Amino acid sequence: MPGQVRHARRTFSILSVPAAIIGRMHQFDEGFEPPEDCVLWCRNRTYDIHVLDDDALVDLDWWNRHLHEAEHDIRLRGRNYDGKVVEHGQATVLRNDLRLGSDLIEARHNGLGLLFLCAAWRSGHTRRRGARRFPDLSNRFVADGVQRYAGAMGAIDELIRLKRLPDYDYTTGTGWPALPNVGVALTTVLAWALDIRAAGGRVQLLDQHGVSTLIHQGWLEDPAVSGFTRRRYDRYLELLHHWATVGDTSPELVERWLVERWHARVVEARSGASAEPMLF
């Protein structure tokens, strides 16, 4: 994989999904099983390489310039091809770098720094649907002397403290963290990096390309990720966990297959040649 670097990583255990999660699947999802290609692809991949070492190329100068202009006390770093931490130019960020206390974040508020590292990783990923866009988290209506980013920092602190997504009581809130101008897809990257729980398991990334593959496979849902409610997202999580259980793999690898499969279909359409041998 281009730009892949190796270094010490945390150890993750792949936990089986409780039967209760599978038993309460949405009625439209009953009988919707993973394709054989998905199961074979996941079983022939490893969590360390294909999830933790999943890399993106990040323009550090662009991100750090925008962070400075927005008056954030944050600076992002990356890695060169040898895994050494660098501060300028094009650099690699691994999914394993997306965690509190990462060597690639220098910030007064670690959670806010992690959010921007997640944004940089997602926007630099060649397979995912994420344009390079700087999230504006400021609240311009705060009283004098109040930090413009206090609301976003408070929402991140609550995620870290509770280790779960907020409850989705629609009389009081949406169930998504109060992160202005972040969007659902980036929120799920941050939540995964923080090891947040929802629908009985760890949250998973929500990417438009992955959801498009699910729709193409026959999933009966609205395809627009930007409009995902918490209930719809929980249904999506339950489906990923179910497919992972059936395939004896991890939800992260299932989600990665969904994204890769969409990319392969795009390559097939552009080149006229089958992309399946590269994947399966």
Q: Mind listing the pLDDT tens digit for each residue in 58-78?
A: 999 999 999 999 999 999 999
Q: Is the pLDDT of residue 276 over 90?
A: no
Residues 6 or more apart from 212 whose CB is under 8 A from it? 223, 262
- What local confidence, expressed as pLDDT, does residue 143 receive? 63
DSSP state of 248: T
Which of these ranges, 159-163, 169-173, 219-223, has the smallest mean pLDDT?
Answer: 169-173
Mean pLDDT of 23-32: 70
Please give the share of the chain, as a percent, with pLDDT higher than 70.
84
Coil, strand or helix at 153: helix
First-to-last alpha carbon distance for the chain, in angstroms, is 16
Tokens of 238: 């339950």
Q: Mind listing the pLDDT tens digit for each residue in 178-195?
A: 998 999 999 999 999 999
In the block, tokens 């400021």 appear at 138
**Alpha carbon 163 to its chain's center:** 16
Q: In 3D, which of 17, 15, 113, 4 has the Cα closest to residue 57?
A: 4
Please give the share of the chain, as a percent, with pLDDT higher than 90.
70
Range from 1-5, 64-68, 198-202 that averages highest in pLDDT: 64-68
Q: Is the pLDDT of residue 255 over 50?
A: yes
Q: What is the rounded CA–CA span in Å between residue 41 and residue 46?
A: 10
- Amino acid identity of residue 42, one-letter, is C
